[in-house]
Structure 1
C-alpha cells in the first residue's frame, strides 16, 4: 500500500486542482460537478474562500514518498456533533491503489479525535463500487438510499 498523509489545503494547490476540476472522469460519480470550464483564477478564488469557512475542514492528500499532491478530502457542514465527508483522487495514476481508503481513515480520526464529532456521513453514487467498499472498510455503515445515492454513516464507537 502507498503511504499517504493529509495536510490542510493551501492556495498553491489550485495550480494542480484546476486540472482535476476540468476532467469529467473525476466527476463521473459525484452529485455536483463543474458546469463550466474552471479557470486558474476561479480555482484560486474558490480555494481562498473554502479554506476560510469555519464549518469546513479541507485537506490535500499527498504521497509520503515524494510529497505529490493527488487529491482532496474534506469535512463540510460541520456542527458540534456531525459533518459531511467528501473525497476524490484527482491523479488517475493513483486510482485503485488504496489511497482513498487511507486518507478516509486519517480524516475520520481527525473528525472524531480533534473535532470531537460523534458521526460523519456521506452520500455515494450506488455505481461507485470501489468507493462503497473503501467506506465500508473504514467503518461506515449504509443508512439508506434515495435515487442513486446511498447515505452512509460513521459513528464514534
Structure 2
C-alpha cells in the first residue's frame, strides 16, 4: 500500500518538505463539468443570463482561485505560477459547460491542486451566476487529466 505523504509516522497531518527536490518545469491540466437545463444554457448562449457575462466571469474567478490555492488547501505550498489558463465551453450534449484549466510553474512541487482549484471555483462561479435561472444544476467530474514534471514524470488520464 502506498504511503501517504501528508501524514507523519504518528498519523498527524504535515506539510511535505520539498526543499531537497530539484526545480523543474511543472504543468497540470484539470477538467470539470457543470450540467444545467437546456433553457439555462440557451440564456448564456443568447447573452441573457441574469448576472451578465457568465463565462468570462467564471474564467477570471478560476484564474484568481488558482493563485490562492495555498490559502485554501492547508498543506499546499505557495507556488509562483507562470501560467494559468481557464477555458469554459458550452456543451449542448450535456447540456452544460466543460471547464478546463492549465497551470504551469517552475518549482519543486506540482500544480495539480492549483488546476483543480481553478476548475472548482470556475464551476462554482457558473453555478452562482446561473442559480436564479436553474436551481437543479450539478457540478461534477472534477479531475486532473494530465500532468508533467517532477520525479514521476508525465501522466495522462486514460481515455
Larger radius of gyration: 2
Instruction: Kindly indicate whether structure 1 or structure 2 has the higher relative contact order, using CA contacts under 8 Å at least 6 residues apart.
Output: 2
Same fold (TM over 0.5): no
Length-normalised TM-score, structure 2 = 0.34
Length-normalised TM-score, structure 1 = 0.34
